[in-house]
Amino acid sequence: MTETADILLVDDDVLIQLMVEDVVTQMGHRFHCAADGEQARAALKRQRFDLVILDRRLPDTDGLLLAQTIQAEARAPFIVLSSLSASHDQLLGLGLGALDYICKPVEPALLRARIAKHIDAPREAHEDRVVTVGKAVQLNTQTRRLSVGGRTEVLSPAESRLLVHLIHTLDRPSDRLEISKAICGREWVYGDRTADVLVSRLRRRLAGSEVEIVTVHGLGYLLTAKPDA
Protein backbone atom coordinates (compact mmCIF):
# COMPACT_ATOMS: atom_id res chain seq x y z
CA MET A 1 0.00 0.00 0.00
CA THR A 2 1.29 3.45 -0.89
CA GLU A 3 2.38 5.61 2.03
CA THR A 4 0.83 9.04 2.46
CA ALA A 5 3.03 11.73 0.93
CA ASP A 6 3.32 15.47 1.54
CA ILE A 7 3.03 17.33 -1.77
CA LEU A 8 3.64 21.07 -2.11
CA LEU A 9 2.14 23.06 -4.97
CA VAL A 10 3.78 26.42 -5.76
CA ASP A 11 1.32 28.31 -7.99
CA ASP A 12 -0.72 31.50 -7.61
CA ASP A 13 -3.55 30.39 -9.93
CA VAL A 14 -6.57 29.61 -7.74
CA LEU A 15 -8.12 27.26 -10.31
CA ILE A 16 -4.87 25.29 -10.56
CA GLN A 17 -4.69 25.17 -6.76
CA LEU A 18 -8.20 23.71 -6.54
CA MET A 19 -7.57 21.18 -9.30
CA VAL A 20 -4.26 19.97 -7.87
CA GLU A 21 -5.73 19.80 -4.37
CA ASP A 22 -8.54 17.57 -5.65
CA VAL A 23 -6.07 15.28 -7.44
CA VAL A 24 -3.66 15.03 -4.51
CA THR A 25 -6.28 14.45 -1.82
CA GLN A 26 -8.17 11.90 -3.94
CA MET A 27 -4.88 9.99 -4.21
CA GLY A 28 -4.74 9.91 -0.41
CA HIS A 29 -1.84 12.34 -0.03
CA ARG A 30 -1.51 15.57 1.98
CA PHE A 31 -1.80 18.78 -0.04
CA HIS A 32 0.14 21.96 0.79
CA CYS A 33 0.12 25.19 -1.19
CA ALA A 34 2.31 28.27 -1.61
CA ALA A 35 1.28 31.15 -3.87
CA ASP A 36 4.75 32.60 -4.45
CA GLY A 37 8.44 32.01 -3.95
CA GLU A 38 8.56 33.56 -0.48
CA GLN A 39 5.78 31.32 0.83
CA ALA A 40 7.41 28.30 -0.81
CA ARG A 41 10.79 28.96 0.82
CA ALA A 42 9.11 29.32 4.21
CA ALA A 43 7.23 26.04 3.72
CA LEU A 44 10.39 24.23 2.62
CA LYS A 45 12.16 25.40 5.78
CA ARG A 46 9.31 24.18 7.99
CA GLN A 47 9.11 20.62 6.72
CA ARG A 48 10.25 18.04 4.21
CA PHE A 49 8.11 17.39 1.14
CA ASP A 50 8.00 14.21 -0.90
CA LEU A 51 7.25 16.16 -4.07
CA VAL A 52 7.05 19.81 -5.12
CA ILE A 53 4.89 20.85 -8.09
CA LEU A 54 6.31 24.12 -9.35
CA ASP A 55 4.96 26.79 -11.69
CA ARG A 56 7.42 28.83 -13.74
CA ARG A 57 5.58 32.16 -13.61
CA LEU A 58 5.35 33.15 -9.96
CA PRO A 59 4.49 36.68 -8.75
CA ASP A 60 7.89 37.27 -7.18
CA THR A 61 10.31 34.99 -9.04
CA ASP A 62 10.90 32.57 -11.88
CA GLY A 63 10.05 29.10 -10.65
CA LEU A 64 13.35 27.77 -11.95
CA LEU A 65 15.25 30.14 -9.67
CA LEU A 66 13.26 28.68 -6.81
CA ALA A 67 14.12 25.23 -8.15
CA GLN A 68 17.78 25.94 -7.48
CA THR A 69 16.92 26.56 -3.83
CA ILE A 70 14.92 23.35 -3.74
CA GLN A 71 17.86 21.41 -5.15
CA ALA A 72 20.55 23.01 -2.98
CA GLU A 73 18.75 23.33 0.37
CA ALA A 74 15.54 21.34 0.61
CA ARG A 75 16.68 18.46 -1.62
CA ALA A 76 13.05 17.81 -2.51
CA PRO A 77 12.18 16.21 -5.85
CA PHE A 78 10.16 18.54 -8.04
CA ILE A 79 8.19 18.62 -11.26
CA VAL A 80 7.38 21.71 -13.30
CA LEU A 81 3.78 22.58 -14.19
CA SER A 82 3.84 25.51 -16.60
CA SER A 83 2.20 27.19 -19.57
CA LEU A 84 5.70 27.71 -21.02
CA SER A 85 5.64 24.73 -23.36
CA ALA A 86 8.44 25.41 -25.86
CA SER A 87 11.08 22.71 -26.18
CA HIS A 88 13.84 24.96 -24.82
CA ASP A 89 11.74 25.73 -21.72
CA GLN A 90 11.16 22.04 -21.09
CA LEU A 91 14.83 21.25 -21.66
CA LEU A 92 15.84 24.03 -19.26
CA GLY A 93 13.56 22.67 -16.54
CA LEU A 94 14.75 19.09 -16.97
CA GLY A 95 18.35 20.25 -17.10
CA LEU A 96 17.95 22.02 -13.76
CA GLY A 97 16.80 18.81 -12.12
CA ALA A 98 13.05 18.52 -12.67
CA LEU A 99 11.78 14.95 -12.60
CA ASP A 100 9.12 15.92 -15.12
CA TYR A 101 7.84 18.91 -17.09
CA ILE A 102 4.06 19.09 -17.48
CA CYS A 103 2.55 21.68 -19.79
CA LYS A 104 -0.62 23.60 -18.94
CA PRO A 105 -3.47 23.09 -19.48
CA VAL A 106 -3.33 19.60 -18.04
CA GLU A 107 -6.12 17.09 -17.51
CA PRO A 108 -6.52 15.93 -13.88
CA ALA A 109 -6.16 12.29 -14.95
CA LEU A 110 -2.81 13.00 -16.61
CA LEU A 111 -1.56 14.96 -13.60
CA ARG A 112 -2.59 12.10 -11.35
CA ALA A 113 -0.65 9.64 -13.50
CA ARG A 114 2.46 11.83 -13.46
CA ILE A 115 2.32 12.27 -9.68
CA ALA A 116 1.81 8.53 -9.22
CA LYS A 117 4.84 7.85 -11.40
CA HIS A 118 7.08 9.73 -8.98
CA ILE A 119 5.32 9.14 -5.64
CA ASP A 120 3.75 5.71 -5.87
CA ALA A 121 6.79 3.84 -7.18
CA PRO A 122 7.72 0.68 -5.26
CA ARG A 123 9.94 1.32 -2.26
CA GLU A 124 12.79 -0.65 -3.76
CA ALA A 125 12.94 1.81 -6.63
CA HIS A 126 14.27 4.39 -4.17
CA GLU A 127 17.13 2.24 -2.93
CA ASP A 128 20.65 2.90 -4.15
CA ARG A 129 21.35 0.89 -7.28
CA VAL A 130 24.61 0.88 -9.18
CA VAL A 131 24.73 -0.13 -12.81
CA THR A 132 28.03 -0.70 -14.59
CA VAL A 133 28.92 -0.37 -18.26
CA GLY A 134 32.33 -1.42 -19.50
CA LYS A 135 35.16 -1.46 -16.99
CA ALA A 136 35.08 2.01 -15.50
CA VAL A 137 31.63 3.56 -15.96
CA GLN A 138 29.19 3.29 -13.05
CA LEU A 139 25.89 5.05 -12.37
CA ASN A 140 24.13 5.18 -9.00
CA THR A 141 20.52 5.48 -10.14
CA GLN A 142 19.34 6.95 -6.84
CA THR A 143 21.97 9.65 -6.28
CA ARG A 144 22.56 10.04 -10.05
CA ARG A 145 26.31 9.97 -9.45
CA LEU A 146 28.20 8.96 -12.58
CA SER A 147 31.72 7.61 -12.14
CA VAL A 148 33.88 7.66 -15.26
CA GLY A 149 37.35 6.36 -14.47
CA GLY A 150 38.47 8.46 -11.52
CA ARG A 151 36.01 11.27 -12.24
CA THR A 152 32.63 11.57 -10.49
CA GLU A 153 29.82 14.00 -11.28
CA VAL A 154 26.08 14.25 -10.69
CA LEU A 155 23.78 13.88 -13.67
CA SER A 156 20.51 15.74 -14.02
CA PRO A 157 17.41 13.50 -13.65
CA ALA A 158 16.86 13.65 -17.41
CA GLU A 159 20.47 12.66 -18.15
CA SER A 160 20.25 9.82 -15.65
CA ARG A 161 17.00 8.52 -17.16
CA LEU A 162 18.55 8.69 -20.63
CA LEU A 163 21.63 6.71 -19.59
CA VAL A 164 19.53 4.08 -17.80
CA HIS A 165 17.33 3.76 -20.87
CA LEU A 166 20.33 3.33 -23.18
CA ILE A 167 21.83 0.75 -20.82
CA HIS A 168 18.58 -1.22 -20.88
CA THR A 169 18.54 -1.13 -24.69
CA LEU A 170 22.21 -1.95 -25.30
CA ASP A 171 21.38 -4.34 -28.12
CA ARG A 172 19.45 -1.88 -30.28
CA PRO A 173 19.25 1.82 -31.20
CA SER A 174 16.64 4.10 -29.60
CA ASP A 175 14.98 6.79 -31.71
CA ARG A 176 13.73 10.21 -30.56
CA LEU A 177 10.19 8.92 -30.01
CA GLU A 178 11.34 6.17 -27.65
CA ILE A 179 13.77 8.46 -25.82
CA SER A 180 11.14 11.19 -25.41
CA LYS A 181 8.74 8.70 -23.81
CA ALA A 182 11.45 7.30 -21.54
CA ILE A 183 12.79 10.67 -20.38
CA CYS A 184 9.82 13.05 -20.48
CA GLY A 185 6.85 10.67 -20.51
CA ARG A 186 5.44 12.30 -23.63
CA GLU A 187 5.27 11.78 -27.38
CA TRP A 188 8.02 13.23 -29.53
CA VAL A 189 6.88 15.99 -31.89
CA TYR A 190 8.64 17.20 -35.01
CA GLY A 191 11.22 19.87 -34.21
CA ASP A 192 11.69 18.78 -30.58
CA ARG A 193 15.47 18.62 -30.01
CA THR A 194 15.34 17.61 -26.34
CA ALA A 195 16.63 14.08 -26.99
CA ASP A 196 19.47 15.31 -29.20
CA VAL A 197 20.63 17.93 -26.70
CA LEU A 198 20.57 15.44 -23.81
CA VAL A 199 22.51 12.90 -25.87
CA SER A 200 25.10 15.59 -26.61
CA ARG A 201 25.42 16.41 -22.90
CA LEU A 202 25.73 12.76 -21.96
CA ARG A 203 28.41 12.22 -24.59
CA ARG A 204 30.47 14.94 -22.91
CA ARG A 205 29.94 13.25 -19.54
CA LEU A 206 31.23 9.95 -20.93
CA ALA A 207 34.20 11.51 -22.72
CA GLY A 208 37.46 9.72 -22.03
CA SER A 209 35.83 6.38 -21.20
CA GLU A 210 35.46 3.23 -23.27
CA VAL A 211 31.70 3.81 -23.42
CA GLU A 212 30.18 6.04 -26.07
CA ILE A 213 26.84 6.90 -27.64
CA VAL A 214 26.91 6.39 -31.38
CA THR A 215 24.43 7.62 -33.95
CA VAL A 216 22.93 4.88 -36.10
CA HIS A 217 21.65 6.89 -39.05
CA GLY A 218 17.95 6.46 -39.63
CA LEU A 219 17.51 4.41 -36.45
CA GLY A 220 18.61 6.49 -33.46
CA TYR A 221 21.23 6.31 -30.71
CA LEU A 222 23.08 3.28 -29.40
CA LEU A 223 25.24 2.90 -26.27
CA THR A 224 28.37 0.88 -26.99
CA ALA A 225 31.57 -0.16 -25.23
CA LYS A 226 34.85 -0.55 -27.08
CA PRO A 227 36.00 -4.15 -27.66
CA ASP A 228 38.68 -3.95 -24.97
CA ALA A 229 36.07 -2.87 -22.34
Widest Cα–Cα separation across the chain: 59
Question: Given 3-state DSSP classes, what are the helix, strand and coil percentages for the chain, each rounded to the nearest 5?
Answer: 40, 25, 35
- Point out the domain boundary residue: 90, 123, 156: 123
Q: Is the pLDDT reported for residue 125 higher than 70?
A: no
Same domain, 139 and 88: no
Angle at 202 between CA 49 and CA 196, to 5 degrees: 100
Q: What is the pTM of this model?
A: 0.59
- Which of helix, strand or coil describes residue 51? strand
- Find the angle CA(130)-CA(76)-CA(131) to the nearest 5 degrees: 10
Residue 127: is its pLDDT beyond 60? no
Q: Who has greater pLDDT, 157 or 35?
A: 35
Question: Is 146 within 8 Å of 131 (Cβ atoms)?
Answer: no
Residue 1, in any domain of the structure: no
102 and 160 in a single domain? The answer is no
Of 98, 123, 148, the domain-final residue: 123
Indicate if 75 and 147 belong to the same structural domain: no
- CA distances to 40, 111, 127, 128, 215 from 144, rounded to whole Å, are 25, 25, 12, 9, 24
Question: Residue 81 pLDDT > 80, yes or no?
Answer: yes
Could you read off the pLDDT of 41-56 as tens digits, one per residue? 999 988 888 899 999 9
What value does the mean pLDDT of the chain take? 84
- Do 10 and 112 lie in one domain? The reply is yes
What's the Rg (C-alpha) of the chain? 18
| Cα distances (Å, whole numbers) of residue 31 to 17, 41, 171 | 10, 16, 43
Q: How far apart are CA 82 and CA 66, in angstroms?
A: 14
- At 229 the pLDDT is 44
Please indicate, yes or no, whether residues 116 and 133 belong to a single structural domain of this protein.
Answer: no
The pLDDT of residue 122 is: 40
One domain for residues 214 and 135: yes
Is the pLDDT at 109 greater than 70? The verdict is: yes
Average pLDDT, stretch 121-134?
A: 59
| Residue 199 belongs to some domain of the structure | yes
Say what the pLDDT of residue 123 is.
40
Residues 79 and 183 placed together within one structural domain of the fold: no
Domain boundary (123, 143, 159) is at 123
Structural domain tally of the chain? 2
Could you give the CA distance from residue 171 to residue 151 in angstroms, rounded to a whole number? Answer: 27
Quote the domain boundaries for residue 44.
6-123
Read off the CATH number of the domain in which 83 is found: 3.40.50.2300
